[in-house]
Structure 1
């Protein structure tokens, strides 16, 4: 089954699905700054564009470009800035 998700007044949209490797979402973010909260461990893969991210426990923003990934543990909050439409694959554990 495919689920549709929409956040931040439609500026972040994704499709959720389950495969043999587990749950994932495939989405797009419009330019903006966002704060997300996790309930599961997440691996965020940047497909196109770039994300500048402030991970939990860090005071330094790091930019991840297409082909790069970062991870966030369960029950954490993190911030993301994007300057233009950016696509991603988020995999949950």
Structure 2
């Protein structure tokens, strides 16, 4: 069964699932700025749109476009800026 998650007053919505690659979510983000925390290592891939991400230890935001992936280690925080509605896939390791 799928589990739906909503964050930031419904501006970020994801559906959790599991398959042979492990636990994952697929979701969408509304235009805005958000800060997330990780409990496991996250491999986030942009599906549609773009994500400006400031990863742990970085001083500047970097743009990620469709089919590009960034990795955030467990127990870290990262910030994103979303300029258009954006879809993503995130695997948890």
Normalising by the smaller structure, the TM-score range is over 0.9
1:28 aligns with 2:10: no
1:2 aligns with 2:24: no
Residue in 2 that maps onto 1:55: 55
Following the alignment from structure 2 to structure 1, what is the Cα–Cα distance between the partners of residues 67 and 25?
16
Number of matched pairs:
93
Residue in 1 that maps onto 2:46: 46
Residue in 1 that maps onto 2:75: 75
Residue in 2 that maps onto 1:18: 18
Q: CA deviation at 1:20?
A: 1.0
1:25-74 per-position Cα deviation (integer Å, ceiling 9, x unaligned): 00000000000000000000000000000000110110000111100000
Q: Which runs of 5+ in 2 are unaligned?
A: none
- Matched residue SS, 1:81: strand
Moved over 4 A (4+): none
Q: Which runs of 5+ in 1 are unaligned?
A: none
